[in-house]
């Protein structure tokens, strides 16, 4: 069955949707009539307020607590997400973390590497596997959107584990795009630059200064809405002949300039 033949509003699972970019995506989808599953790990208040805000905008949403890095967490998430409204049409792999401490790669610990890779790569890799199996079993066309980062291609020696996790996500996007296209499931990667959220709060003043001096061709910081609008463009069907595509949402930061 194709998505257009399914009855009722489409269902989106957005990981890490209580705050930041994920919240922006959840609100944008909710406002446009999607049923939204708002996953979070620890901040129940933010997730509840996201659900409330979607409700106030006339949409439907539910919060699901689960740690995407843990296999039991993903099992819970899959069960509750699919059970909520009978299926999932869109997975947005947004949940992510920076290293708890920025340290030189010569000082990086195995514990920090494992933690960041677990949340940013192993979690979305196996969650996507679970959702893809569900979509195939239900003969349900669908969309998967991975929130990568310009750190996939820009080296930051003070957070190497983060860069490596996002480079891995780039290959994960290609692998699932290739594997799932014949089943009508398209996979995209959004690659944000510097976006104003809790994650960047500690370095925001420095980035704000750099950006005002021309560090990025578009001289402003990004907002969660910038990423959310790209998601909307994808799910509204404006890229029907593309899969495995990377869309930079970075004010032009990826451009090589002289
Ligand atoms: P954020 O403000 O720190 O929010 C992170 C969100 O992820 C929170 O909702 C958090 O849940 C959730 N989360 C973290 N670990 C989780 C886990 N193990 N299981 C489930 N949820 C988890 O971050 P953000 O800036 O919005 O970043 C969102 C995504 O964009 C990340 O993948 C990040 O790498 C990527 N990104 C961000 C930027 C940027 O400049 N901000 C740039 C490029 C890419 P709780 O609320 O429960 O803690």
205 burial level (CB within 10 Å; 0-12, 13-18, 19+)? exposed
Atom index in ligand 1 nearest the CA of residue 98 equals: 34
The Cα–Cα gap between 230 and 226 comes to 7
Asked if 13 and 37 count as a contact pair (C-beta separation under 8 A), the reply is yes
Ligand 1: which of 27, 46, 96 to mutate, most ligand atoms within 8 Å of CB? Answer: 96
3-state secondary structure 88-107: CCEEEECCCCCCCCCCCCCC
Atom index in ligand 1 nearest the CA of residue 69 equals: 18
Residue 6: the pLDDT is 57
Helices (H), the chain: 20-31, 44-56, 71-85, 110-117, 123-137, 160-180, 204-212, 224-235
Q: How far is the CA of 93 from the centre of ligand 1 (A)?
A: 10
Residues contacting 30, CB < 8 A, separation 6+: 36, 53, 54, 57, 59, 60, 61
> Predicted confidence band at 8 (pLDDT cuts at 50, 70, 90)?
confident
Atom index in ligand 1 nearest the CA of residue 44 equals: 47
Beta-carbon count within 10 A of 104 CB = 10
Ligand 1 within 6 A of CB of 95: yes
pTM of the model: 0.97
Residue 3: the pLDDT is 42
Residue 32: the pLDDT is 97
Provide mean pLDDT across the span 98-117.
98
Is the model's pLDDT at 4 over the cut of 70?
Answer: no
For 30-86, what is each residue's pLDDT tens digit? 999 999 999 999 999 999 999 999 999 999 999 999 999 999 999 999 999 999 999
Ligand 1 within 6 A of CB of 147: yes
Asked if 34 and 91 count as a contact pair (C-beta separation under 8 A), the reply is no
* Residue 136, both tokens: 């195939």
Ligand 1 within 6 A of CB of 160: no
Residue 1: the pLDDT is 40
The Cα–Cα gap between 180 and 2 comes to 14
Q: How far is the CA of 5 from the centre of ligand 1 (A)?
A: 33
Ligand 1 within 6 A of CB of 77: no
For 60-76, what is each residue's pLDDT tens digit? 999 999 999 999 999 99
> Predicted confidence band at 230 (pLDDT cuts at 50, 70, 90)?
very high
Q: What are phi and psi of 12, to 5 degrees?
A: -115, 135
Q: How far is the CA of 211 from the centre of ligand 1 (A)?
A: 22
Ligand 1: which of 15, 17, 21, 201 to mutate, most ligand atoms within 8 Å of CB? Answer: 21
Q: Atom 33, ligand 1: which residue's CA is nearest?
A: 96
> Predicted confidence band at 229 (pLDDT cuts at 50, 70, 90)?
very high
User: What does the DSSP 8-state code read for residue 200?
Assistant: G
Asked if 195 and 221 count as a contact pair (C-beta separation under 8 A), the reply is yes
Active site residues: 162
Is the model's pLDDT at 219 over the cut of 60?
Answer: yes
**Percent of the chain's residues with pLDDT above 90:** 97
**Percent of the chain's residues with pLDDT above 70:** 97
* Per-chain mean pLDDT for the chain: 96
For 128-184, what is each residue's pLDDT tens digit? 999 999 999 999 999 999 999 999 999 999 999 999 999 999 999 999 999 999 999
């Amino acid at each position: 069955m194709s998505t257009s033949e399914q009855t009722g509003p489409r269902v989106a699972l957005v990981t890490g949707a209580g705050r930041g970019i994920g919240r922006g995506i959840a609100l944008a989808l909710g406002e446009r009539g999607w049923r939204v599953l708002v996953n979070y790990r620890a901040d129940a208040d933010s997730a509840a307020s996201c659900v409330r805000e979607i409700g106030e905008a006339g949409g439907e949403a539910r919060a699901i607590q689960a740690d995407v890095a843990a296999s039991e967490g993903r099992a819970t998430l899959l069960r509750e997400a699919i059970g909520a409204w009978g299926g999932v049409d869109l997975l947005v792999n947004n949940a992510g973390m920076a290293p708890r401490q920025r340290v030189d790669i010569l000082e990086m610990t195995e514990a920090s590497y494992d933690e960041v890779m677990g949340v940013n790569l192993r979690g979305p890799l196996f969650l996507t596997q679970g959702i893809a199996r569900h979509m195939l079993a239900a003969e349900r066309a669908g969309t998967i959107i991975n929130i990568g980062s310009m750190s996939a291609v820009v080296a930051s020696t003070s957070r190497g584990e983060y860069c490596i996790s996002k480079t891995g996500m780039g290959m994960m996007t290609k692998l699932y795009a290739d594997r799932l296209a014949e089943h009508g499931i398209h996979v995209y990667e959004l690659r944000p630059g510097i976006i104003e959220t809790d994650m960047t709060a500690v370095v925001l003043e420095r980035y704000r200064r750099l950006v005002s001096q021309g560090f990025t061709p578009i001289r402003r910081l990004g907002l969660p809405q910038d990423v959310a609008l790209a998601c909307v463009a994808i799910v509204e069907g404006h890229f029907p002949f593309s899969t495995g595509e990377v869309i930079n949402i970075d004010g032009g930061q990826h451009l090589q300039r002289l």
